[in-house]
Structure 1
Amino acid sequence: MALVEVKVPDIGDFKDVAVIELLVKPGDRVAVDQSLITVESDKASMEIPSSHAGVVRELKVAQGDKVSEGSVIALLEAQGAAAAAPSAAPAAPAVVEVAAPAPVVAPAPVAAPPAAVAAATAPAAGASDVGAHDPTRPPVGLPHASPSVRKLARELGVPLEEVRGSGPKGRITVEDVQAFTRAVMAGEQTTRAQAARAPQGGGDGAALGLLPWPKVDFAKFGPIERQAMSRIKKISGANLMRNAVMIPAVTNHDDADITELEAFRLQLNKEHEKSGVKVTMLAFLIKACVAALQKFPEFNSSIDVEGGGDALILKRYWHIGFAADTPNGLVVPVIKNADQKGILQISQELAELAKKAREGKLSPAEMSGATFTISSLGGIGGRYFTPIINAPEVAILGVCKARMEPVWDGQQFVPRLMLPLSLTWDHRVIDGAAAARFNAYLGQILADFRRVLL
């Protein structure tokens, strides 16, 4: 066997493009035209295929490196001259995606080189007919997918190594990712025939029937600065995208009279000034939400995805998450067993967790297990907003800045401190009437906190 260098072929008018993904590792056996790396420029993404079949002995590039035509990708122990591509011309990239001003229409199939046809029709070595998705099953092998499919999977939080590809040579398609997402969310077993009947579509927004994202050269309009997104925002962005797309969410807006509660809060802080514990309105909100969740248990539930998606898991514990603003983005620490804690203890834990969040010292355990989340904009401002549900929870409460307003008491207008509430809920689990009752009950508790004792 000969040791050969696999180089970047002619990839068009591109130079010094970034390596964004390594698709193989030393020791892997690869076939002709199997993708080795994915590169991306500001105009296109593409997979670079292998020109030979054999075993990868050494990778010459790492994620983040820049490559151009002729750059050495890997050293390959080739399986003889017969393994090489029959044509002397450089191999073409597996997939190229160029920005277009109009929706992209899939081109008609073109004739493939004989070697590619043979590779597509012959079964892969060691391949077997893999059944429907099973999360406990070991990965089926190295994911083989185009950059657009990989991007869609990242946006939806789909692990490609667990997806069964229905395309040529086991290639993962948009329809496979969509079918996997539906199966996991609903607990269904999606077959290959069902995936084949799924609507055809492109990557990214095209998978949802949307126009391609606009490609704009912002620099031609004025000065710009490119700023990398924080790791927290990258991770949370994928989760938010999945939750916003997969959950049929509805938001109810209401106001709660917290005039007496705010006076009580100020009194508590005055009494406990020397203890160092500062009571915030969020502590009262957590206790009030626990009382409302106990009265309306479907808000403290999750869909039983593993059981088929046709039942609810009602949780008999009350762990309340709260969105904490940090220099790197939002994180959600969790107050565990909030039903068993008083206002002062909750206030102390809120302060400790918020401090850890700002310093980036939260542990995974301190950010897991929430059954319901509160997103409070506190004293920043705003009136109402639509928070995104934190799956697998089924509801989230958004809170804005309280303000004094004239409220009619039956005889006259009196000044009252009103707190805006925005309750977002999963319509698969909760209906409008239940949401209205939840918000109304929550408002009653905040108006007269003695109701928590009932």
Structure 2
Amino acid sequence: MEIKAPDLGVDSAEVSEIMVQVGDVIAKDDNIVLLESDKASVEVPSSAAGKITKINIAIGDQVSEGMVLIELESEAAEDTDAQNADKASEQAPVEQSVASEEKAVEVSQSHNVSSEASTSKPAQAASATTYALPDLGVDEAQVAEIMVSEGDMVTADQSIILIESDKASVEVPAPVAGKIAKILVKTGDMVANGQDFIVIVGTDTASEADSASNAVSNDKVSDKPATTTEAPAPVAQSTQPKQADTKSVANNQAASTGGKLTEAQVNAKLTEVYAGPAVRKLARQLGVDITQVIGSALNARILKEDLFAYVKTSLTTQQAAPVSGNVASSGLPKLPDMSNVEIWGEAETQDLTRLQKVSIPQLNYNTYLPQVTQFDVSDITETESLRNELKGGMKAQGIGLTILAFIVKATAYALTQHPRFNSHLSDDNTQVILRKSVNMGIAVATDDGLIVPVIKNAHEKGIKQIAIEIGELAIKARDKKLSTKDLQGASFTISSQGILGGTAFTPLVNWPQVGILGASEATMQPQWNAAKQTFEPRLMLPLSLSYDHRVINGADAAVFTRYVASLLADPRRILL
């Protein structure tokens, strides 16, 4: 039996630790491997019980969904062999010594256990399994809505809870079909990747039969030492010491924090630290001297939680009084007292949506960027004529062809010719990280606020495919069906105001990107035709390029914006 990697929430992750060996006997849901990505550390459980016959991965390997991790000799085969051995022993001569008689009694007891397990199969279908949240793409998010109740029957992949983060509203599907036995979270809770959130009595009798068989064996054969434990037990045992150790470490080291280290200084200290790549990257981002943090996991391995606790305790120790989260993040003073109606007049309070609230910290990053905006216009008269020729045929195929598809294609091509706009500034401000693929973020307005799904590898796709994906992402955004994969990895963003009006606007650069292109409503304007020595009506599209001045200078921005405008004026140039 092959145990494969589940959906990791990312394209691939690195094997950080292998928790089992060939020959080990494991139970269903026992953790077998620790995977780390730039988002999280995930312990992967076994989907079945049995004896490990082969391990197909090594530490440092990159693992993706569906890859075979280990191979098992299932317990079902072992039970069959045991039953065959029991039948053979029953047919053996009874003329044996006292020791042989005792052995026969043990064999008989084992046979009884197997028989009881066989007769209890109808009850096995009622076994319950606890399921954990998938990778949310963020450290934590809030439960916005619970869509089911205890006792409800659900199908696999049916949406059961709605999670909202600073990136999006994401509906978490049911991992299996079955009956909701218990809901472990409630509306308003902050949840994290891998947290247990629901208990389901599944309808997968094959996997449940293994669990029930293990349970019967453990209950009946009381004189044998237990070799398996329930899945929640190791979590509870490891979580409590971790919290205690983290708090103790943070309190002891609170006074040792200093200024933010450079990336080179941090990297020089990492050689003897036991931490995965995701934790090391986070340490660089936080400016934490990772050698000052003691890990709470096995073999003193440092987790993200250890870094967060270290920073949190350091900050609370250094500050004399706590500061409001919004004030600290924005740097703005508190509002004046507006209770005096004679001065301020009548007012009412309206709550922001959850998406708007969690977007504020990301928007505040823009305060630290030296942002400049370059304006230009593109004559899209010929492009609009081409679009009108094509949109009828596209519509017959169920595809909405808008000018945005042309803007995405032209911008993606321009980014391949001007790669500095498709980059990020390094943490220590000494390097520019150039992206080799163009992952285009598309700003979409929803009732809850602005959201930015991503078209992956836009530079490799034609206008038709881009139009299809724009339509699909827009529908998923409005219906709150976007997954974390739909929202990650953007290297550049386009914000189109379409027919909303306005002649130009200044879009905000979405850190860590260094540029964003805004498109306003196209209008007919008189343009001078030098060949005909006369004015003629042309369809003009206003463009607004905002950029991070630390990476891009004004001359480059003007050249890039003019280049995009020329591509939009004549899309045939993209084919050359």
Q: Is 2:237 aligned against 1:237?
A: no
CA distance in 1, matches of 2:352, 2:362: 15
Task: Summarize deviations over 1:56-84 as a string: whole Å, max 9, x none.
Answer: xxxxxxx99xxxxxxxxxxxxxxxxxxxx
Matches within 5 A, 1:38-437: 126-127=252-253, 129-131=255-257, 135-136=282-283, 137=290, 161=309, 163=311, 170-172=317-319, 204=327, 213-217=335-339, 223-242=346-365, 244-305=366-427, 308-410=428-530, 411-437=533-559
* Distance in 1 separating the partners of 2:372 and 2:479: 34
Task: Count matched residues.
Answer: 288
Between the aligned partners of 1:286 and 1:241, the Cα distance in structure 2 is 27
Alpha carbons 1:139, 1:161 under 8 Å: kept: no
Does the 8 A contact of 1:334 with 1:367 survive in 2?
A: yes
- Equivalent residue, structure 1, for 2:99: none
| Contact 1:256-1:446 within 8 A present in 2 as well | yes
Quote how far apart the aligned CAs of 1:206 are. Answer: 12
Partners in 2 of 1:404 and 1:207 — Cα distance?
41
Q: Is the 8 A contact 1:205 1:213 kept in 2?
A: no
CA distance in 2, matches of 1:363, 1:287: 24
Question: In the TM superposition, what is the alpha-carbon distance from 1:257 to its structure 2 partner?
Answer: 0.5
In our comparison, the structure showing a higher alpha carbon Rg is 2
Determine the C-alpha separation between the residues in 2 that align with 1:417 and 1:374. Answer: 20
Would you say 1:448 and 2:566 are equivalent positions?
A: no
Deviation of the 1:281 alpha carbon: 0.7
**Structure 1 398/218 Cα, relative in aligned 2: closer, same or farther at 3 Å?**
farther
Secondary structure of 1:279 counterpart: coil
Shift of 1:393: 0.3
Deviation at 1:310, TM superposition (A): 0.5
Letter in 2 for 1:386: T
CA contact (8 A) 1:405 1:418 kept: yes
Residues 119-151 of structure 1: CA deviation (Å, up to 9, x unaligned):
xxxx9974565455673459979xxxxxxxxxx
SS of the residue 2:445 aligns to = strand
Structure with the largest fraction of helix: 2
Letter in 1 for 2:538: R
| Secondary structure of 2:388 counterpart | helix
Task: Give the % identical residues.
Answer: 42
What CA distance in whole angstroms lies between the structure 2 residues aligned with 1:252 and 1:280?
A: 24
SS at match of 1:374: strand
Q: Distance in 2 between matches of 1:238 and 1:279?
A: 35
Relative distance call for 1:438 and 1:160 in structure 2 (3 A) is same
Q: What amino acid sits opposite 2:362 in the alignment?
A: N
Measured at CA, do residues 281 and 165 of structure 1 come closer, stay the same or move farther in structure 2, by a change above 3 Å?
same
TM-score normalised to the size of structure 1? Answer: 0.57
Q: 3-state SS of the aligned residue for 1:265?
A: helix
Unaligned runs of 5+ in 2: 1-187, 190-248, 261-279, 284-289, 295-306
Q: Secondary structure at the match of 2:560?
A: helix
**What is the distance in 2 between the residues matched to 1:281 and 1:206?**
38
Provide the C-alpha distance between the structure 2 equivalents of 1:333 and 1:450, rounded to a whole number of angstroms.
Answer: 27
Cα distance in 2, alignment partners of residues 299 and 138 from structure 1: 35
Unaligned runs of 5+ in 1: 1-62, 65-122, 142-158, 178-202
Root mean square deviation, CA, Å: 3.4
